[in-house]
Amino acid sequence: MGKLDGKVAILTGGAEGIGVTYANALAAEGAAVAIWDVVSSEQLAADIRAKGGKCMGMVCDVTDSRAVSQSLSAVLAEFGGLHILVNNAAVFARMLDLKPFEELSSAEFDKALAVNVRGTFECAKAASPIMRKQGYGKIINIASGTAFKGTAGMMHYVASKGAVISMTRAMANELGADGIRVNCIAPGLVLTDAIARPGLEAFREGAIASRFLKQPHQPGDLAGALVFLASPESDFITGQTIPVDGGSVMH
């Protein structure tokens, strides 16, 4: 018996990076998983199905409300419901041009907020009526430890992740009466393929030095927190942000 047997989950931004870990963790615990991303996730979905899981990969731009609505309809038609939404889609720091905030263009700032903040809003807005009707649901937003640190050179990213934390609290307040729990995970610097590439040694070493646990932050370190927040084990927890970073935020 998996902790998420009989549940249906939508995972945004699941085609690569940490999203792959999230998709596999949800499916391994018995959830039927729909992966939304702007790039194809069908190979990942096929791999999960080959291991006995239920999974569908869909191309969906979370900033497009029509695409979100259409994709949600397809999930309901395929899996018959929705119980878990993981808002992981984001313009990551590595995808942005890092520079002093005075040098940021309005377009650069808007891009980070459009995907990271409004994308989270669009998906939660579409999912909440279904969860309200059934009187139960889990929304898990993905922020970043940078929101607590005010990391230099990436103010647009930091601002977007700070907004996700604030949105989590507001959503939890508005949706709690209908049995919908809304929480947030704030990862540290995770050793994905992009972060592990040559040339970023100093960046990685600095992140490790900032932690109480002096070791690399692997994608798998996030699976436990995700499954916990998605499962009934956390049913009396809402409005919270859990840093999963080896103690870096507390350092």
- Asked, for residue 250, whether it belongs to a domain, the answer is no
What pLDDT does residue 243 have?
97
As a whole number of angstroms, the distance between CA 117 and CA 166 comes to 10
What pLDDT does residue 43 have?
97
**At 57, which CATH number?**
3.40.50.720
Percent of the chain with pLDDT over 90: 82
Number of domains the chain is built from: 1
Residues 236 and 245: their CA atoms lie apart, in Å, by 23
Task: Give the pLDDT of residue 191.
Answer: 77
DSSP tag of 62 = T
Q: What's residue 85's pLDDT?
A: 99
- Note the pLDDT of residue 202: 75
Q: Please report, rounded to a whole number, the percentage of residues in the chain having pLDDT higher than 70.
A: 97
Which has more pLDDT, 196 or 114? 114
Tens-digit pLDDT profile for residues 134-181 = 999 999 999 999 999 998 888 999 999 999 999 999 999 999 999 999
Q: Is residue 3 part of a domain?
A: no
* Residues 55/45, Cβ–Cβ less than 8 Å: yes
pLDDT at residue 96, as a whole number? 62
Residue 16 — very low, low, confident or very high, per pLDDT cuts 50/70/90? very high
DSSP-based three-state secondary structure for 55: strand
Q: What is the pLDDT of residue 248?
A: 92
Higher model confidence: residue 80 or residue 211?
Answer: 80
| 102 neighbors 153 (Cβ within 8 angstroms) | no
Instruction: Please confirm, yes or no, whether 157 is among the known catalytic residues.
Output: yes
Enclosing domain of residue 16: 8-243
- Which pLDDT score is estimated for 74? 98
Residue 2 has pLDDT above 90, yes or no: yes
Flag whether 227 is in a domain.
Answer: yes
107 found inside a domain: yes
- In sequence order, the 6+-apart residues with CB closer than 8 A to the CB of 117 are 160, 163, 164, 167
Q: Name the band, by pLDDT with cuts 50, 70 and 90, for residue 6.
A: very high
Give me the catalytic one of 157, 159, 183, 190: 157
Instruction: From 167, 71, 82, 75, select the one nearest 127 (Cα to Cα).
Output: 82
Q: pLDDT tens, 177-207? A: 999 999 999 998 887 777 777 766 777 877 8
Which pair of structure tokens corresponds to residue 102? 């005075």
Would you say residue 106 has pLDDT above 70?
Answer: yes
Residue 76 lies in a domain: yes
**Cβ atoms of residues 120 and 140 within 8 Å:** no
In this predicted structure, what is the pLDDT of residue 200? 66
Judged by DSSP in three states, 109 sits in helix
Residue 249: inside a domain, yes or no?
no
**179, containing H or E segment:** none
pTM: 0.95
Q: Is residue 2 part of a domain?
A: no
Distance CA 170, CA 151 (A): 24
